[in-house]
Amino acid sequence: MKHIFSKIGWFVKENWKTYVVLFLLLIAISLISLAPAYVLGLSIDTIVSGGLTKESLLMLVFGLGMLPLARYFLSFIYNHLSQKTAQTLTFQMRKRYLSHLFDMDSQFYEKYDKGDLIARITADLDAIAQAASSMLEGIIFNVGVIIFAITVMSLTISWELTLISVSIMPIALTILNSIRNKKRKYIKKHREIYADMTEKVLESVEGQKAIRAYVQEDNDLEKQYQAINNDIESWRYIVKFENWFNPLFEVVYGIAYILAFAFGIYYIMQQQMTLGGLITFVSYIGMLYGPIISISNIFAQINNATISVDRLDEIMQQQPIVHDEMDSKPIVTFESIEFKDVTFKYPFDKQPVIKQITFTIHHGQTIGIVGPTGAGKSTLIRQLLREFNVTDGQVFVDGLPIGTYKIEDIRNLVGYVPQSHMLFRRSVEDNILIGNPKASNQAFDRAVKIADFEKDLIYLQNDLQTMVGEAGATLSGGQKQRLSIARALVKDPQILILDDSLSAVDAKTEDTIIEHLKDFRKGKTNIIVAHRFSAVRDADMIYVLENGRITQKGTHHDLLRQEGWYKMQYIQQMTMSR
């Protein structure tokens, strides 16, 4: 419990006034809950003694009638404030969590699966919010009822009978909850199994086209069923434990009830207690049943929430390796970018992908990068996005290491069109405006024209307002590429990177886009990674990458005069195009 509050203490401090009101409401509700038993005992003693009058009867009936109304009114206010506070806590924690995810670098996302991250912000966060909202009620109300009842039982009825019947409760509860805490490790394992199931479901939904194309529906469903079954079996073990464990709390209550009734009759026979006193006492014992069961459930929630807090905190404690420094500089434009002996290895790879790369890009140049598949072309140009820190060497921007500048500013320099196009379930227009939500109509139209996406609009059902299916399901491969290019161009970036982004378009469309780039991107830097040499033949400089190293460089005509990979592949492409 202390562990949970230590993690959400910031929220309690921000909303301390609400918690004070909730505390006072619970105290009032606890006192009202005890009043009926006291009034009932007083009534019985009044009747037995023959002191009941019309006036006293009316007062007793009025008092008994007002108590449930008062409790309803106070409970309504409490439940409203409690639910509102729990929802606010959930919102604030999700906001913090998502904000933290956006601060993390690519290495973090290599380490954690999507399903795991989703499970932590759904199932784990729900467990924390549930425990946080119920702990106050469970502890203040239930413990308050128990303490008040025991106090009244001791002071107004019999401290001896109270000691005999109630002393078993704290001893038994302590033992039972120490046993329950041993289940904590398995709950953590269940959370991991649930995360695996979520990941599998996400993978199947995202890959449904490939699954259908290869007629793997049955195999994939079988794997999903297995993942779901593992989750159910894991949860069944926890439920089975609760099913045999929870009744033990009822046994504790039953023993206390029997002791109270047996010794109470003995005290009546000894004239140490009245019948009304025994009925009041037994009523109080009966009232302890609900709080005892509630406390047992609260401890279960706390146990689950403790695991969830640790899982959520594990993510929140992660710090990005790529981050801004206190003295990071702003940058809005550049004159030159220099790669000097740059070597890079992905954190989970054994060998570097690019090795000792040295070259310079000047502002306004168009650079072509070609090479065989797996040569490291994409990895090379992605160093400009600062997703990872280079393993060795340095990237300089205007003579200063790239890490000198603010990450956001560096990325704002770049309009990046990756090989795999991430489209969102939004309209075509909204997908393009992700590149620059504040773009003018003129800038938007220009981006659509440069990307040669105008001709596609007549085929779309609702023009620019056509909804793009999940992951671009409603668009062809070429349309996805051209939409992604328009998204980068609407940003009007200092550096445009086309990472094999013309592979799905025909030769005529490719020529059109390249010509548009020449006209509209004069004075801006363009980096084109391509397999078709027609996309880079007019570049100011072409670099050939083989096995992670630059093996050739020069203009298109320079490279055709050299023996090597470029000339050989060019001749092969020309032969195949005839």
pLDDT digits 0-9 by tens, 101-124 = 888 888 888 888 888 888 888 888
- Determine contact, residues 168/255, Cβ cutoff 8 Å: yes
Q: If residue 541 lies in a helix (H) or strand (E), which one and from where to where?
A: strand 541-546
- Determine contact, residues 342/417, Cβ cutoff 8 Å: no
Over range 10-28, report the average pLDDT.
Answer: 81
- Determine contact, residues 78/22, Cβ cutoff 8 Å: yes
Over range 202-231, report the average pLDDT.
Answer: 75
Tell me 427's DSSP state: B
* 398 has pLDDT over 90: yes
- Determine contact, residues 134/298, Cβ cutoff 8 Å: yes
Q: Cα 202 to chain center, whole Å?
A: 14
The C-alpha atoms of residue 502 and residue 392 are separated, in whole angstroms, by 31
Q: What would the 3-class secondary structure string for 102-147 be?
A: HHCCHHHHHHCCHHHHHHHHHHHHHHHHHHHHHHHHHHHHHHHHHH
SS3 158: coil
- Within 13 Å, how many C-alpha atoms sit on residue 155's CB side? 7
- Determine contact, residues 554/573, Cβ cutoff 8 Å: no
Residue 459: Cβ-neighbour burial (10 angstroms; 0-12, 13-18, 19+): exposed
* 50 has pLDDT over 70: no
Residue 413's pLDDT is 92
pLDDT band at 18 (very low <50, low <70, confident <90, very high): confident
Q: If residue 455 lies in a helix (H) or strand (E), which one and from where to where?
A: helix 454-457
The residue among 214 and 354 whose pLDDT is bigger is 354
Residue 425's pLDDT is 82
Residue 541's pLDDT is 94
The residue among 62 and 345 whose pLDDT is bigger is 345
Burial 174-189 (b: 16+ CB within 10 A, else e): eebbeebeebeeebbe
The C-alpha atoms of residue 534 and residue 515 are separated, in whole angstroms, by 11
* 36 has pLDDT over 80: no
| Helix, strand, coil tally for the chain in percent (to 5) | 65, 10, 25
The residue among 370 and 153 whose pLDDT is bigger is 370
Residue 34's pLDDT is 67
pTM summary value: 0.70
pLDDT band at 32 (very low <50, low <70, confident <90, very high): confident
The C-alpha atoms of residue 161 and residue 264 are separated, in whole angstroms, by 7
- Determine contact, residues 195/115, Cβ cutoff 8 Å: yes
Residue 465: Cβ-neighbour burial (10 angstroms; 0-12, 13-18, 19+): exposed
pLDDT digits 0-9 by tens, 470-508 = 666 678 878 888 888 899 999 989 999 998 887 777 778
Over range 397-416, report the average pLDDT.
Answer: 92
CA angle 163, 164, 168 (to 5 degrees): 90
- Of the spans 65-79, 110-124, 295-309, 517-531, which averages the highest pLDDT? 517-531
* 452 has pLDDT over 90: no
Q: Both ends of the chain: CA-CA distance in Å? A: 75
* 397 has pLDDT over 70: yes
pLDDT band at 1 (very low <50, low <70, confident <90, very high): low
CA angle 361, 343, 568 (to 5 degrees): 65
* 343 has pLDDT over 60: yes
- Report which of 276, 295, 348 is spatially closest to residue 173, judged by C-alpha positions: 295
Over range 334-345, report the average pLDDT.
Answer: 94
Residue 550's pLDDT is 94
Q: Which residues contact 360 (CB under 8 A, 6 or more apart)?
A: 336, 337, 338, 339
* 40 has pLDDT over 90: no
Domains of the chain: 2-316 (1.20.1560.10)
Q: Rg of the Cα trace of the chain?
A: 36
Residue 363's pLDDT is 94
Residue 337's pLDDT is 94
Neighbours of 197 (CB within 10 A): 21
Over range 381-397, report the average pLDDT.
Answer: 90
Mean model confidence pLDDT for the chain: 81
Query: Where is average pLDDT lowest: 180-189, 263-272, 495-504, 507-516?
Result: 180-189
The four Cα atoms 41, 43, 49, 52 give a dihedral, to 10 degrees, of: 170
Give the rounded percent of residues in the chain with a pLDDT score beyond 70: 83
